[in-house]
Structure 1
Amino acid sequence: MRKINWGLIGGGEGSQIGPAHRLAAGLDGAFDLVAGALDHRAEAGRAYAVRLGIARGYGDWREMLEGERGRQGGVQLVTVATPNATHFEITKAFLQAGIHVLCEKPMTMSVAEAEEIVALSRETGAICAVNYGYTGYALVRHMRAMVARGDLGRVRLVVAEFAHGHHAGGDDAENPRVRWRYDPAQAGVSAQFADCGIHALHMASFVIGQEVKRLAADCVSCVEGRVLEDDAQVNLRFDGGAVGRLWTSSVALGRQHGLTLQVFGEKGGLAWAQEQPNQLMWMPLGGRKTVIERGEGGLSPEADRASRVTVGHAEGMPLAFGNIYADLAEAIRARAEGRVMDPAADLYPKAVDGLRSMAAIAAVAESGGVWVDARPPSLR
């Protein structure tokens, strides 16, 4: 089967996220990395593209857009892995050119921009996906399947956390990999919630099949001098009746990655942690706690499709991201071939998910402990 031509914007040398995207996109042999604008320094980006063996290295994304738009064998999908403030402009430009986009989160800097991206994706027919990549884990997808088939009964409560301690030191204020996250000009109205909290919120919605309707947030800046929050506690009410509790922090010393999800229903409870992704804890009402292992027999089709290594072997983040790319490959090919895509692959986060996240970010920034509507205007 012919490979899909893929381009990467950002993710240059020393990037945290660039290698994960390159590994993920290459897992199934579905994508061919043919173009890149990898660095805000033009020559550094071109030189790194040469070292990676990328056929067409560009100085910036605008040069890449002009070089690839309408080109025979040009890119069909681009991944936007640049700082937050650039996501909207780049994503919009490539969608207008009819090129599919996978954008790092947050998708935009405002709700209005996100509404525009959703409308543009619908208008052009170009896919816009958002990289909530942790929903690519096999057992996260199995949790979703268990909830959907009624194993838990009515979901009463979901508890989500994404707390780490890697920004607890005030002496790293000038570290460029830290500084921008707390700068409103580059990060927007939120730091920690926009960076990590929306991963936990999207995962909660993804698993329980409900969207957040209202929230009340308490945000603080624990490190002196930070304009934006480094810790937030958010209470949630979902449109299907579930209650949510979400904690996100960058000053939780002793926590490493810290993404966890617990779901409690009438008939049972589930618990999963990203640092131990091979095990899912299941406690049925009146029964005994059991461990569901990734890769074992009898799991859902969604989990089977997302499981890449044999049972007992470690599963990691690039493999989860790889499942998002596998979903996108199926979506792109199904559209090109005029067929319905595999339902088990129709799980990649879409532009509307990015829109809901932007509305939640705005609500968290507005709340000040008061209950506010967390829905985007177009979905109220």
Structure 2
Amino acid sequence: MSKLSWGMIGGGEGSQIGGAHRVAATLDGAFTFAAGALDIDPEKGRDFAVRLGAGQDRAYGDWREMLDGESSRPDRVDLVTVATPNNTHFEITKAFLQAGFNVLCEKPMTTTIAEAEEIVAIARESGRLCAVNYGYSGYPLVRQMQAMVAGGELGRVRLVVAEFAHGFHADAADADNPRVRWRYDPAQAGISSVVADCGSHALHMACFVIGQEVTTLSADFASCIEGRKLEDDALIAFRMNGGTVGRLWTSAVAVGRMHGLTLQVFGEKGGLRWAQEQPNQLIWTPLNEASRILERGSSELLPAAQRASRLAIGHTEGMFGAFGNLYANLAEAIHAQKEGGRPDKQNLSFPTAEEGLHSIAAIHAAVASAKAGGTWVAVER
């Protein structure tokens, strides 16, 4: 297949997430970086885009300039990644979808349910792809878990327990650190901080793996550092439409926890346990049997996990590879779109705008529940 061209908005030099996207998009040779509006400072953004390989005429000062410039080109970019602060996701994603571009948006896709519903509708009407970067669903052994659940190896799933807890916002002295401050500012982050930032990843992974959606939930939020307007710790109990019971803990003040993304799935016939910091191993415990370790890269894994692996067994594949799997899936879908064909369904595992909408609805329900003292709240569908 020929290489596709790719553009990025946000994720400039020094960005926490921009570098990961740039490695992931080009990991399998599917995309070439062609255009960007990378920084809130127009000149810094232009300079960095040129250093990354964009032509002078495709190094843009802001996203509106990029939209105008790319829309008029016969060789416009095939995919645009939006990696800007939360409060800008809706406007940028909407504009590019309406102009006929495929979009990969950082999570959360929007800050309101109405905006998320509008993005879903525009994507459907335009026929463009709109994906959301719940990138951890790209890990090979997460896809192994999903395939095992779908194949009935666990039987009916009774319970799912998800965590995403770290301690990197635990220092009260960081109140004026711009990388931390915006996450607790409702004007930039929206109605939620750690649940939207980290908890949404864990919740999406739970939904992705067991193939169910959240219907009701009860939440307890805490702002452990004085002065924060949004939560830095949360505990959520939830119920799913397939009858599964769920538990989620997410925190930004858990000193000693590094990345802290884990998922445990407990079914009638056995249980699974995976941790993102040890991504090469999945613990599988069949009912009444000893636990065993499933290794990434093993020939015994199911096809979904084997397709998502690049290295031989024993070598570490991490976040770049997981994000790269989303870009690889998107590339196949875009090639099919351009050629009028149908992509292999087994390779279309990227999170969609519909999944982004479900996450936003769950976040809003959690905020409402927490404000009401933990009352059970229905998640809008």
Q: Distance in 1 between matches of 2:240 and 2:54?
A: 45
| 2:46 paired with 1:46 | yes
SS across alignment from 2:328: helix
Equivalent residue, structure 2, for 1:271: 273
SS in 1 for 2:13: coil
Structure 1 position 82 matched with structure 2 position 84:
yes
Equivalent AA in structure 2 for residue 226 of structure 1: R
Per-residue deviation, residues 37-70 of structure 1 (Å, max 9, x unmatched): 0001100101111221222200000000000014
**Displacement of 1:32:** 1.1
| 1:311-350 map, 5 Å | 311-350=313-352
Matched, 1:209 2:214: no
Partner of 1:254: 256
Displacement, 1:374?
1.4
Question: Are the counterparts in 2 of residues 160 and 245 from structure 1 also a CA contact under 8 Å?
Answer: yes
- Deviation digits for residues 193-241 of structure 1 (CA, Å, limit 9, x no counterpart): 0000000000000000100000000001000000100000000100000
In structure 1, C-alpha distance between the alignment counterparts of 2:338 and 2:12, rounded to whole Å: 30
1:104 paired residue number: 106
AA partner of residue 209 (structure 1): G
1:33 aligns with 2:33: yes
Q: Give 1:235's aligned amino acid.
A: A
Using the TM superposition, give the Cα deviation of residue 300 of structure 1 relative to its aligned residue in structure 2, in angstroms: 1.4
Aligned counterpart, 1:93: 95
The equivalent residue for 1:24 is 24
Secondary structure at the counterpart of residue 173 of structure 1: helix
Which of 291, 294, 308 is residue 293 of structure 2 equivalent to?
Answer: 291
The AA in structure 2 aligned to 1:307 is S
One-letter code aligned to 1:304? Q
Q: Percent of aligned positions with the same letter in both sequences?
A: 68
Q: Which deviates further from its counterpart, 294-303 or 93-102?
A: 294-303
Cα pair 2:191 2:230 within 8 Å, conserved: yes
Given candidates 362, 372, 376, the residue that maps to 1:371 is 376
Q: Supply the AA of the counterpart residue of 1:84.
A: N
- The runs of at least 4 consecutive aligned structure 1 residues that moved more than 3 Å come to none
1:216-235, aligned counterparts within 5 Å? Answer: 216-235=218-237
Q: Is this contact kept in 2: 1:232–1:247, CA < 8 A?
A: yes
Shift of 1:298: 2.1
Alpha carbons 1:269, 1:284 under 8 Å: kept: yes
Residues 301 and 344 in structure 1, CA contact (< 8 A), matched pair in contact too:
no
- CA shift, 1:339, in A, is 1.9
Worse overlay, 306-315 or 255-264: 306-315
Mean Cα deviation higher: 63-72 or 97-106: 63-72
| Alpha-carbon distance between aligned partners in 2 of 1:148 and 1:76, rounded to the nearest angstrom | 32
Which whole-Å CA distance do the structure 2 matches of 1:172 and 1:115 have between them? 35
Q: Provide the rounded CA distance (Å) in 1 between the counterparts of 2:163 and 2:368.
A: 21
Residue 69 of structure 1 is matched in structure 2 by: 71
Return the alpha-carbon distance in structure 2 between the equivalents of residues 70 and 281 of structure 1.
51
TM superposition shift of 1:308: 1.1
The Cα RMSD (Å) is 0.7
Instruction: Structure 2 unaligned segments of length 5 or more: list them.
Output: none
1:8 has 2:8 as partner: yes
Distance in structure 2 (CA, Å) of the matches to 1:106 and 1:135: 15
1:262 Cα deviation from its structure 2 partner: 0.1
Q: Does 1:143 align with 2:145?
A: yes
Structure 2 CA distance for aligned equivalents of residues 173 and 54 of structure 1: 36
Give the partner amino acid of 1:324: L
For the Cα contact (< 8 Å) 2:33–2:52, is it kept in 1?
no
TM-score with structure 2 setting the length: 0.98
**d(CA) in 2 for partners of 1:47 and 1:351?**
32
Mind listing any 5+ residue stretches in structure 1 that lack a counterpart? none
Amino acid at match of 1:8: M
Aligned-partner residue type, residue 7 of structure 2: G
Write the deviation string for residues 231-276 of structure 1: whole angstroms up to 9, x where unpaired: 0000010000000000000000010000000000000000000000
**1:33 Cα offset (Å):** 0.7
Distance in 2 (alpha carbons) for counterparts of 1:76 and 1:27: 17
Letter in 2 for 1:27: L
Whether contact under 8 Å (2:79, 2:103) holds in the other structure is yes
Moved more, 189-198 or 48-57: 48-57
- Mapped to 2, the partners of 1:307 and 1:59 lie a distance apart of 37
Q: Is the Cα contact below 8 Å between 1:111 and 1:358 reproduced in 2? A: yes
1:345 Cα offset (Å): 1.0
Other structure's SS at 1:233 match: strand
Aligned length: 376
Question: How far off its partner does 1:112 sit?
Answer: 0.3
- On the 8 A contact 1:305/1:344 being kept in 2, the answer is no
**Residue 182 (structure 1) shift:** 0.3
Displacement of 1:146 after TM fit?
0.1
Measured in 2, the distance between the counterparts of 1:365 and 1:325 equals: 32
Match of 1:359 in 2: 361
User: Matches of residues 144-159 of structure 1 in structure 2 within 5 Å?
Assistant: 144-159=146-161
Query: In 2, Cα distance between the equivalents of 1:91 and 1:340?
Result: 24
